Amino acid sequence: MSIKWEGVMPAVTTQFTSNDELDLEFFKVNIKAQLDAGVHGLVLGGTLGEASTLSDEERRILTRETVAFVNGKVPVLMNIAEQTTKAAINLAKTAEEDGAEGLMMLPPMRYKASDDEVVEYFRAVANSTSLPIMIYNNPVDYKIEVTLDMFEKLLETCPNIQAVKESTRDTTNITRIKNRFGDRLAIMTGVDTLALESLLIGADGWVAGLVDAFPAETVAIYELQKAGKIKEAIAIYRWFMPLLELDINPKLVQYIKLASAYTEIGSEYVRAPRLVLEGEERKTIVKIIEDGLKTRPTLPDYKNLNN
């Protein structure tokens, strides 16, 4: 299997009903909005997908339903965020069986593994599957950094490790990766507030968060910068920034789900122990969302920039 590691790939939210069941109907409303906007792939079961709260069966249902709904239009990836190598290998196996075309992988959860342990963890999972893999490198939130030396070891022995979701918050890392590995390791920027900068200095694509509420604006920024229309991309990006900052908060799930409720392509229901927003915090986030909606830009025909 192969994936073109480029473009916008939403880290999609998992939709729940008020009774804490999977809401597959509303989930598909959001997926349709992503496809209509022109996204280039979908990532299931990430942080925004509330991965840690999903059962194995729920992950399988989401994968199967998404694969069937998308029907080959874009690749569907499943995230792996497990505590043990055995569980990660099993999830890779079931994701492949259920039709996923790729994996996103975090280092081992909870246990702060050593560099050698992290490398062996990724290697064991990669060698257990034929699916292409994107390593999620987010030391800010997950306290383990996958260094360039660690990537060197992995790329030597794991041809299906093909991309990194670059979330170190250090944009100079993009140039270091390109200098070291060239095109061997694709770079998908993973921080909304650094996305345009990252794309302009060499990132191949964007695993996005606020795309769950504003898919067209997100894809427009990517397509405009790719076509060299930098001023137009910057104008949308500057409008977007107060909203993009919702992605870099511990409550990003609640914030982004609330935004998607305002744009009517998602609900704000979250799975406990998360709670929906209340009080002054809710008022603050609602104001950011409403201010953004009041000044929402008219987008150019970003799907036909080369015509």
- Catalytic machinery residues: 136, 165
- Contact of 220 with 299, CB cutoff 8 Å: yes
User: Around 250, how many Cα atoms within 13 Å sit in the side-chain half-sphere?
Assistant: 4
Q: How many CB atoms lie within 10 A of CB 130?
A: 9
Indicate the SS3 state at residue 61: helix
- Contact of 22 with 16, CB cutoff 8 Å: yes
Q: Alpha-carbon distance 107 to 81, whole Å?
A: 7
**What DSSP designation does 109 have?**
S
Q: How many CB atoms lie within 10 A of CB 112?
A: 12
